[in-house]
Amino acid sequence: MLSPLRHRPSANATSPSLRDREELNVRGQFPAIENWHYLDSAASAQKPQAVIDAITDAYARDYATVHRGVYQRSSDMTAAYEAARAAASNLIGGKPEELVFTRGATEAINLVARTLPKNGRNRVLLSQLEHHSNIVPWQLAGYEVDVVPLTADGEIDLDAAEAMLTEQHRIVGFAHISNVLGSILDAKRAAEVAHSKGALLLLDGCQAAPRLGVNIVTLDADFYAFSGHKLYGPTGIGCLWGRAELLSQMPPWQGGGAMIDKVTFEETTFLDPPARFEAGTPHIVGAIGLHAAVNWLEGLGLDAIHAHESALVAEARAALSAIPGVTLYGPEDSAGIVSFNVDGVHPHDTATILDDAGVAVRAGHHCAQPLMDWLGVPATARASFAAHSDSSDIEALVRGVEQVKRIFG
């Protein structure tokens, strides 16, 4: 059985930040999950005490507005806000001037869809497994959508994508990791495919940023979107990374204070990115909390987190597949996510019984209705792991599923 991520890991799961730590006690750093088996991190991650403390201090001790005040506390908070931008961009291998703070990944994708010049190209290439947040914005922005099929085990078929791509496609928009199947995209090849016809690659990194070591320079992506709340940070803060030359071509999306150079009633001029896209008073404390979350993640090491969650996925899939009547979805090596159904039982009923047993899973279409159509089901139950998860969560999950079987015969 897999122990909590707390002792020195095995050689194939080490990272430099973990090698010298005998005792991590990751689970104990999350006050909200004591005596609770939280398996819904793909929807929103719980917050470690370090993030909670950073948010509390920012409101209770350090608070001031940013970019405006000449008094010292405002200057200090401005420096902290911009340090958060640097930390978030560094997490994925980018530069601070290329990272825009948004309300979340949804807003980040909407920003690109609404402001990127189409340059005579009106098509977007998406995949069957995309989250609604990487479908609806393109429709609303007037793009014609083409859909890449999946392989038999639920991965984006990049051979098919290459065959489908034309010079009419402005954007290829793929999830780096599926929020339902946990399948990992070969992002480097996806970039090669997109660029072969002059299209741009946008990656939805919501599930990847909390568990993979991402380097957007190596991946050769053009845009990368991720959210704070899935990254062990607060809600209401997210990030859009974009190539500097692309951001400079994109006009403002919202108008107001902080994003302007000069305003008259006849004409307004705007600041350079990223400020151009951050109208109004920003989510200051959200950025501070996000910085704390990034520091916490990097302290553990993303390689170690991914290895830990991968081991949990293998254990959970083995245990669930041993229960008659349980169907598993997605590849064997899914990243941190196990979606399943119990024959003859609606996922909402499964989740309700699991909740009675102290196990929190997500049930529904997971904002991926086209993927549900491909799977041939209306919904699934989804268990998703985090750095604080351990074998006790899997044991409770299995006991709960066995109870579901008993109840429904």
| Cα-based distances in Å from 114 to 136, 137, 236, 362, 364 | 12, 8, 20, 31, 29
What secondary structure letter does DSSP report for 226? E
Please give the helix or strand (H or E) that residue 401 lies within, else none. Answer: helix 391-408
Strand order in the sheet with 326-329: 326-329, 337-342, 380-384, 362-364
In degrees rounded to 5, what are phi and psi of residue 401?
-65, -40
Of residues 43, 367, 377, 396, which has the active-site annotation? 367
Euclidean distance between CA atoms 317 and 92, whole angstroms: 30
Q: Which of 170, 166, 232 is nearest to 389 (CA)?
A: 232
User: Does residue 379 contact residue 346 with C-beta atoms inside 8 Å?
Assistant: yes
The helix/strand/coil state of 399 is helix
- Other CB atoms within a 10 A radius of the CB of residue 290 amount to 31
Helix and strand numbers (H, E) in the chain are 13, 15
Q: Which two tokens stand for residue 10?
A: 């095995």
Euclidean distance between CA atoms 398 and 275, whole angstroms: 49
Q: What is the DSSP string of 337-372?
A: EEEEEETTS-HHHHHHHHHHTTEE-EEE-TT-HHHH
Beta bridge partners of 125: 146, 172
Indicate if 206 belongs to the active site: no
Q: Which of 138, 128, 113, 225 is nearest to 176 (CA)?
A: 225
Please give the helix or strand (H or E) that residue 55 lies within, else none. Answer: helix 49-60
Q: What is the DSSP string of 150-200?
A: B-TTS-B-HHHHHHH--TTEEEEEEESB-TTT-PBP-HHHHHHHHHHTT-E
Residues marked as catalytic? 367
